[in-house]
Amino acid sequence: MKLVSFLFIFIISQTITAQFYKKAEPFTHTYSIVARDSVTGDMAVAVQSHWFSVGSVVTYGKAGVGVVATQSLVNPSYGPKGLTLMEQGLSPEQALNALLQNDAGEMFRQVAFLNNDGAVATHTGRKCIDEAGHRQGENFSVQANMMLNNTVWDAMAIAFESAKGDLSQRVLAALKAAENEKGDIRGKQSAAILIVKGEATGNSWEDVVMDLRVEDHENPIQELERLIKIHKAYDFMNKGDLAMEVGDTKEAENLYLEAQKLFPDNLEMKYWYAINLLNNKDFNKAFPILKTIFNKDKNWKTLTKRLVKSGLLTIAEKKLAEVMQL
């Protein structure tokens, strides 16, 4: 009862008043997905719209709690308030209903909540612009409004359920499926994906798995896919750097190689892989790679000398001299 009373007071104090409703609200008519990975527990929210910087308005998430998509005539407060209510113990349905009951503009809202157990709640207001609808499934909900066709949300659901790969790949498959059904009647402009961990680590900087936005682009989903791939490559790089920091050069080499597979033309990824080879005294492999890099940009050669002082490169003076001659 104490929890219910507290939440009642919280909701009343945070009521979405008619005065707020009269303020300008973004027209982010769009399609989105909230989803949970049943294996890792990670939770994602992703969106695409013919609206600038849609991710800054629609997507919200908190590790260990859940994710929220708030769209159509957007009331952004559904994001932080919904997460707070779920964190206090309300189910997605209870949290969403509590906010809808105090929103004079609920008929214009389209909102989806998902918590870290995979439970979902979705609302498509009766005055959302056609075509509008949503579909729920195990560990996910997809929703769309102002679509050209009413087939979008079903196509998204099928794509997510049948897609292979990690959570980002499955979510991306749902966005692609929406676009294949012609998506937003106005076209396309921006997209975003936010993935948070199912359990909070206690360190906020470790709780966000992925947070990418395409603010303005002629092919936002295609660009988002490119950024996701780069993000994964740099994730391998970051882990490689950590391995290098603790002196595990073999593990660092493996991680840097994984990064290069995803982003083979990136000079920096090749460089750190080569530096790691130097630390492993594998000069026959390292020298040709470094020579190619130095020929393209001599600043990398300057940087190499500086690594010795920092302790990130352990190499005999004679071998360092050979490197400087490349």
> How confident is the model over 204-253, as pLDDT tens digits?
889 999 999 999 999 999 999 999 999 999 999 999 889 888 888 889 88
Cα-to-chain-centroid distance, residue 271: 27
* 93 shares its domain with 24: yes
Identify whether 46 is part of a domain.
Answer: yes
* Residue 229, domain member (yes or no): no
Name beta bridge partners: 60.
Answer: 68
Give me the pLDDT at residue 246, please.
86
What per-residue confidence (pLDDT) applies to 2? 43
From CA 225, how far away is CA 221, in angstroms rounded? 6
Whether 189 and 242 map to the same domain: the answer is no
Query: How confident is residue 16, by pLDDT bands cut at 50, 70 and 90?
Result: very low
Are 243 and 210 members of one domain? no
Q: Is the domain of 260 the same as that of 214?
A: no
Please tell me whether residues 292 and 262 are part of one structural domain: yes
| Count of CB atoms situated within 10 Å of the CB of 305 | 12
Read off the pLDDT band of 26 (50, 70, 90): low
| Domain end residue (candidates: 218, 251, 274) | 218
Count of structural domains within the chain: 2
243 near 279, Cβ under 8 Å?
no
pLDDT at 244: 81
Report yes or no: 29 and 145 within 8 Å, Cβ to Cβ. Answer: yes
DSSP states of 32-95: EEEEE-TTT--EEEEEEESSTTTHHHHEEEETTTEEEEEEEE--TTHHHHHHHHHHTT--HHHH
Among 160, 191, 218, give the residue marking a domain's end: 218
Is a pLDDT exceeding 60 seen at residue 266? Answer: yes
Domain ranges, residue 280:
234-324
Burial of 23 (0-12, 13-18, 19+ CB in 10 A): exposed
Minimum mean pLDDT range among 155-159, 230-234, 241-245, 303-307: 241-245
Residue 180 located in a structural domain: yes
- Domain-terminating residue out of 168, 194, 218: 218
Question: Is the pLDDT confidence value at 166 over 60?
Answer: yes
pLDDT category of residue 265 using cuts at 50, 70 and 90: confident
Its pTM stands at: 0.87
Q: Please report whether residue 224 resides in a domain.
A: no
Mean pLDDT, residues 178-189: 91
Question: Residues 85-126: pLDDT tens digits?
Answer: 999 999 999 999 999 999 999 999 999 999 999 999 999 999
Q: Are 27 and 190 in contact (CB under 8 A)?
A: no
Band (25; pLDDT cuts 50, 70, 90):
low
Share of the chain above pLDDT 70, in %: 91
Render pLDDT for 121-149 as a digit per residue (tens, 0 to 9). Answer: 999 999 999 999 999 999 999 999 999 99
pLDDT of residue 311: 87
DSSP state of 28: E
The verdict on 205 and 248 lying in the same domain is no
Which class for 58: exposed (0-12), middle (13-18), buried (19 or more C-beta within 10 A)? buried
Kindly state the DSSP code that residue 129 receives in the 8-state scheme. Answer: P
Q: What is the pLDDT of residue 5?
A: 44
**According to DSSP H, which parts of 246-325 are helical?**
249-262, 267-279, 283-296, 299-310, 317-324
Indicate whether 116 and 250 sit together in one domain.
Answer: no
> Does 270 share its domain with 316?
yes
